[in-house]
Structure 1
Amino acid sequence: MNPLVIIGILVAALVFIPMIVTGFLRNVEAGTIRMVTWVRGGTNIFRGPAKSWEVPLLTTGTTLSSKAINVDLDITDQTADLDDGGVPQPIKVRVLASAIVSVGDSDEMIKTAANRFFSKPNEEQINILIDLLSSSGRRAINLLTHDQLFSAKTAVRIPSQSGAAEPGMELEPIRVAPLPVHVRPVDAEDDDDPLAIIIRKACSRELTDLGLTFNSLNIKVVQSEVAEARRRQSAAEAQANAEIVAAQQTRRAKEAELEAERAISNKQRELEQTRAANAALIAEAEAKRQEAAGRQRSAELEATQIAQARADAERLRIEAEAQARAEAIRITTVADATAESIRKVNEAIQQGGESYFRYKQIEMLPDIAPFIADALGKARLVTISGGGAGESAAENTASSITGVIQTVLAAQLVSRNGLLDGNGNGAAEPVAAVPVGRIVGK
């Protein structure tokens, strides 16, 4: 076989086989439902995402949307309020809400929706839902009181006078009155809103006839003159409460400030008292310190005086001892010198004999004559003769005069030899007078 033919067959297979398969198997996207009807009337339903089995020329396919349909509702009607006497006193209200519906889950409801609802144009579909849900909403409003519409479970926001909803402005929860017995749904959720419960109950049959189901009702705004008056009253009460709270807070703040000032004043007074007490203690301590310092100074002065006295006494003692030693040394030296001089005189006399002594007497005669005369003039000589043999009165007198002369001569000899001080006073006592006298007397 020609290779080109083979290649052509392969290319044709690659091109036509996917086209054939695509014609028999079709994609069903998510959020869509594919209804395939055969020649004999049988219908197959495929919910996306999936593949639908279709045979060209033998089947007919229809695609439906399974997404939820959001319908905005603006309902205005009167409530079922009564006065104290049981006379109807309806209140005009306006409810802005959004309802969510979708295609039923069963195949039968899908077929019904395809034939009765989705067969119409989109605009007409929305109008049908709005009319159906609005009528059900009006019936629900006619069965509910004003307080039930503003129940805690609706948690609706009260709009301003302009009609727009003010964010964050919610009516205080109001006790919900029980629903009438003939409209209480038996299969409703306990946490559903009364308005949603009644609307679901009222429109469920009509929606089922269209192949749809009611999913939920979201009440956006409930407007009424009573609600506006209540809102203004609540705002005024809230403002009054806020002012009261502010006044109380201001009063409490003032009281706290006064209490703080009082506490500060007490603390300051205690601090001043403590300072005064501390100052007194410090003054007392300072006085004691000064007294102790004075005592210490007195003790130091006394100790210094005692030490000074002791030092003076020691110094005087040392000086006295030194002076005594010096005087003793001087006396000893003078005595030694006198003794040495007398010894030398005695040796000279012994060696020279009578001739030396007489020579000295003659030599010293001019010097000692005045002293001898003075001594004899002052001497008081009394001669007493005992009448003994060998001695007369003249001899005794001559002996006394010789003693005086010997004394003067000995003094002059000592003075000549340096044994007397400058005043003519001898040392301790005259020495060698006896030997000299003895020699003179011979």
Structure 2
Amino acid sequence: MRTNTRVEFGLYDVTARGDSTPSCTTAKPFCNLGRDLLLESVPSQNKYGTLEREQWLMDGSFSFFPEVPEQYFWGLWSTTQSDKSGVFADPPVLDITFTQDHSSSGLTLHFYSPTEDWASRVKIQWFSQDGGLISTALFYPNSVDYYCAKKVENYRRIRIYFLETNRPGRYLKLAGIDYGVYLHFSGHEIVEAHVLEECDPISSEISINTLNVSLYNKEGRFSILNPEGYFDVLQHKQKYLPGESTEELYRDTLDPGTYRVTFNAPAVVGSLTVTGAELTESGVNLCTLTVAEAGEVCVTGRKYADSTVVLKRTAANLPPNVQDNELTVTDATLVDPSRAEAVAVRVLEHYAQRYEQNFSMAAGNEKLADRLIIQSFGGEMVRGVLTKLEFDLTGGFLADAKVIGRRLTSNAAAYAGEIHAGERSLI
């Protein structure tokens, strides 16, 4: 069986979009920049006929312009068209401001794909918090989706000048912006790729799935020694009852600005009191503060009190000569008292499954936490939960698997309740 692997990921500043405030004084009045340019991805766009030069082809593929355009997605459409040479006499300018510093390897501009219209010459400026110009660059897009490669760190404002269009007599039509680049690797660029998936049937541990990839890039884009590379813009981003007493949740001396504060324990929503700042947003685990004057800021509120229920369950039908083996689970958080007994039974059943089967297989349709019936080399049958899958994506797409369960008796059958309808076949 021939396999191949392709790795794709977005190298974005994941906080920039939500922190951005875009504006343009020459945008069409029906454009909603604060809505459309903050979307994570560009939605499907309609192919509208306009009065632009040689734009409306009478082939039946165009739609009439809507009577109420405000309710549709547009991105940024300019009020003026480019001239017969494709040059704007008064170039549209998109001004984007941020409340925090951001860094990215560049900007990806998305234009109007239905008619393949884009800005063919663009100037971008990046500014610091104090308004100083950090960098200026000129780009010549040649496609609807174009990456403007320019690594800039700690910027607070971006100004984008759209100087020309790829066709004469066209409006600027910008559909979206990504603060970074979408990368893809395949073939010899992927040296190794391993995927590890694990689960705990009783959630005593929270497993994190991992992807380990070794990539080769001849331009050295991920080299720590490359000043124009990507390395330094990679981002490394129980039942409780409301307590009765008010406690200090946060205290610090802050300069004027907006701050997001994370608590070390959940706090009751609506119980927060702030001195030295204005509370602009609050949640169970965090709050947002606006500081007008430098000084000490204190946040107080009520934390949640942990309620404890102790249950004991004993295995039945044990041989008379078996010694007691008591297991204590102390960290069963996120369990409602009404479900505690059922959870205790499940924990007991889980630890009673003592058979662990490790094997390799060609990756198929099996998924983590599936219930499987597998056959060992000795011919014995084990019914259990698939708790681990580790894929070698460059070595034939093989998977190292682990199943934990119990041994099936030789006379197990569907009517005996050992094998249930809907479960998978043998491996």
State the TM bucket, normalised to the shorter chain.
under 0.3
User: Higher helix share goes to which structure?
Assistant: 1
Higher gyration radius (CA):
1
Q: Which has the higher contact order (CA 8 A, sep 6+)?
A: 2
